[in-house]
Structure 1
Amino acid sequence: MNWNAINFDWNQARSFLATAEEGSFSAAARVLARTQPTVGRQVAALEQALGVTLFERVGKSLNLTTAGAELLVHVSEMASVANRISLTATSQSQAVEGQVRITASDVVSAYQLPPILKQIRLAAPRLEIDVVAANDIRDIQRREADIAIRHVRPTQPGLIAKLVAEATAHFYAAPSYLEQVGRPRNEDELAKLGFVGFGDVDTMIGFLNPAGIEVTRKNFRIGSQSGIVSWELVRQGFGISVMSDDVAALTPGVERVLPEREPFKFPIWLATHSELQTARRIRLVFDQLANHLGSRTNY
């Protein structure tokens, strides 16, 4: 079939592309900020317009058909061209107005960004700031965000990454919890207490065990994929967890555990697309974030 001879709706094509890349309608809906039924209807409408089946439904999974795989090549090319056009247009804008999307973890977005955003608004009151609070890594090249705050160095081609700080973190808990179980005096005593899980528990165990904290899954009786929820559980006395010292300093009702222990250290990276740095509004926000995160963070 000659795909180039068929005129179809770009929104339908975006829904198809996101579904093919994410593997399900629900995941595609989260990426596109649409509802799952909307994505499903748009893919079905595209299938009807083309007269082919694009996905095979196998249980809860969606597998591309041969026709779907062929279409994916063309739609991916279209998306790449559209992204380049958008990047070029944005890079030519010198006005300090318009929207800038910043993505960071939910904890950073809720605790550390607001005071910085106040300063940015004073510097450029006509800017529109959209904070994308997400604990997964958003794709700057796909324009899911203009600037990303990350704790690992981005490696995608075409990105500019700047190390702005090395932050520190310690163990924290609510005084009420420590009064109930006793304040640990060393790492062995710490490993016998309850921990609040942030995200994947096995990942946390893989982080803590090499640091000398011999915890297992039995230590993690409660937790959340949301960093904000997990941190609130710590504050409410459900257990211990690691947290950035900057965030802990902004949180009443928590106490550092093993205060003399050497801190954990982790980098703070800013990333943006290389073409976006020539856009005045992107550059202004990037520089403001670099200055404030660097000055507010422990080294």
Structure 2
Amino acid sequence: MDSPPSPDWNHIRAFLATAEEGSLSAAARSLGLTQPTLSRQVAALETELGVMLFERVGRALVLTQAGQQLLDQGRQMGKAATALTLSASGQANAIEGTVRITASDILSAHVLPPVLHHLRRIAPNLKVDMVATNDIRDLMKREADIAIRHVRPDQPDLIARLVHEGNAHFYAASSYLDRRGRPQAPADLPGHDFVGFGDNAEMIAYAQGLNLEITPEQFHIGSRNGLVAWELVRSGFGIAPMYTKVAEQTAGIERVLPWVDILRFPFWLTTHREVHTSRKIRLVFDHLAEALSNQS
């Protein structure tokens, strides 16, 4: 019996763009197609596979269960296609120039170095300029080529991909907890200090959403520089939330406030639409997407 024909790669690419962009119009712009053409390609893929990949909820397109399953497989195909193209033409080694990546200082120092080591082995002639800042860089003004953000940008000319959902908890140094005690219930909080990571009012409001009652008087020290603030926590000045992966790498730190649920925050990988025409940006974008999606 003859095997069924394989889906057209252009149709899969249209599906991936629609899933990542969230609308046919945005996906069409990202691929340089007209919306009717892209819509026909997605419909053709549904016909080829015999499943419905999207359902419309209001004005938004939402993946069906079949679409979600295909999304992961399609992304793997996209990575494989990019890798095959680079390998076949020797482009990875030939890629050169500078790519500017912006991320928070914490991610830049604690999470990205192993990722960049691997990138350097893949593209040894590529230069990476890390812009470590907690401000949102403006990609449209080319202050950076690729950004790792914890909020999805709303500019229509940017490509944003949700690549990871991180876990965080509240932590404090063992030295601090030995002095001040280990809080086991909400009633213990008034006797503890917190270290500020920037805007204390925002942190207090966020804590209230977690049913944590803390006050401005509990913030005696802090810094908008994440590395400095985390060092203040490690040095025993108080309690603060932190990405679990970073906290687990830090000696002398304990998880506290056990009654608080796990905190979750997204990792959005963002770039401008040059990702479709620049080999070096595409290489770095795909590499970061794969590495961050595999974060434990």
Per the alignment, residue 96 of structure 2 pairs with: 97
Per the alignment, residue 255 of structure 2 pairs with: 256
- Inter-partner Cα distance in structure 2 for 1:212 and 1:259: 13
Consecutive aligned runs of 4 or more in structure 1 exceeding 6 Å deviation: none
Per the alignment, residue 185 of structure 1 pairs with: 184
What runs of 5+ residues in structure 2 fail to find an aligned partner?
A: 1-90
Per the alignment, residue 275 of structure 2 pairs with: 276
How many positions carry a matched residue from both structures? 204
Check if 1:149 corresponds to 2:145: no
What runs of 5+ residues in structure 1 fail to find an aligned partner?
A: 1-93
Per the alignment, residue 238 of structure 1 pairs with: 237
Per the alignment, residue 200 of structure 1 pairs with: 199
- Inter-partner Cα distance in structure 2 for 1:260 and 1:210: 14
- Kindly provide the amino acid, as one letter, of the partner of residue 256 in structure 2: V
- Inter-partner Cα distance in structure 1 for 2:280 and 2:186: 47
- Inter-partner Cα distance in structure 1 for 2:191 and 2:238: 11
- Kindly provide the amino acid, as one letter, of the partner of residue 162 in structure 1: R
- Inter-partner Cα distance in structure 1 for 2:220 and 2:186: 19
Identity of aligned residues (%): 56
CA separation of 1:202/1:128 partners in 2, compared to 1, >3 Å: closer, same or farther? same
Check if 1:223 corresponds to 2:222: yes
Per the alignment, residue 212 of structure 1 pairs with: 211
- Kindly provide the amino acid, as one letter, of the partner of residue 271 in structure 1: T
Per the alignment, residue 36 of structure 2 pairs with: none
- Inter-partner Cα distance in structure 1 for 2:190 and 2:162: 33
- How big is each residue's C-alpha offset from its partner over 1:259-292, in whole Å with a ceiling of 9 and x where there is no partner? 4642100000000001233211111111111111
CA separation of 1:157/1:254 partners in 2, compared to 1, >3 Å: closer, same or farther? same
Indicate conservation of the 8 Å contact 2:185/2:259, yes or no.
no
Structure 1 position 224, deviation (Å): 0.6
- Inter-partner Cα distance in structure 2 for 1:174 and 1:124: 40
Indicate conservation of the 8 Å contact 1:188/1:213, yes or no.
no
Indicate conservation of the 8 Å contact 1:192/1:215, yes or no.
no
Per the alignment, residue 125 of structure 2 pairs with: 126
Structure 1 position 225, deviation (Å): 1.0
What SS does the corresponding residue of 1:117 show, helix, strand or coil?
helix
- Inter-partner Cα distance in structure 2 for 1:220 and 1:283: 43
What SS does the corresponding residue of 1:141 show, helix, strand or coil?
helix
- Kindly provide the amino acid, as one letter, of the partner of residue 195 in structure 2: V
Per the alignment, residue 22 of structure 1 pairs with: none
Indicate conservation of the 8 Å contact 2:210/2:260, yes or no.
no
Structure 1 position 204, deviation (Å): 0.7
Structure 1 position 192, deviation (Å): 3.4
What SS does the corresponding residue of 2:111 show, helix, strand or coil?
helix
Indicate conservation of the 8 Å contact 2:170/2:240, yes or no.
yes
Q: How does 1:42-81 map to 2 (within 5 A)?
A: none
Indicate conservation of the 8 Å contact 1:146/1:276, yes or no.
no
Structure 1 position 191, deviation (Å): 4.6
- Kindly provide the amino acid, as one letter, of the partner of residue 218 in structure 1: E
Per the alignment, residue 9 of structure 1 pairs with: none
- How big is each residue's C-alpha offset from its partner over 1:69-96, in whole Å with a ceiling of 9 and x where there is no partner? xxxxxxxxxxxxxxxxxxxxxxxxx752
What SS does the corresponding residue of 2:154 show, helix, strand or coil?
coil
Per the alignment, residue 164 of structure 1 pairs with: 163
Per the alignment, residue 138 of structure 2 pairs with: 139
- Kindly provide the amino acid, as one letter, of the partner of residue 97 in structure 2: G
CA RMSD of aligned residues (A): 1.3
Structure 1 position 247, deviation (Å): 0.9
Per the alignment, residue 109 of structure 1 pairs with: 108
TM-score relative to the length of structure 1:
0.66
- Inter-partner Cα distance in structure 1 for 2:251 and 2:284: 29
- How big is each residue's C-alpha offset from its partner over 1:208-261, in whole Å with a ceiling of 9 and x where there is no partner? 111111001011010011110000000000000000001111211211113464
CA separation of 1:150/1:191 partners in 2, compared to 1, >3 Å: closer, same or farther? farther
What SS does the corresponding residue of 1:290 show, helix, strand or coil?
helix
CA separation of 1:289/1:188 partners in 2, compared to 1, >3 Å: closer, same or farther? farther
- Inter-partner Cα distance in structure 2 for 1:124 and 1:187: 51
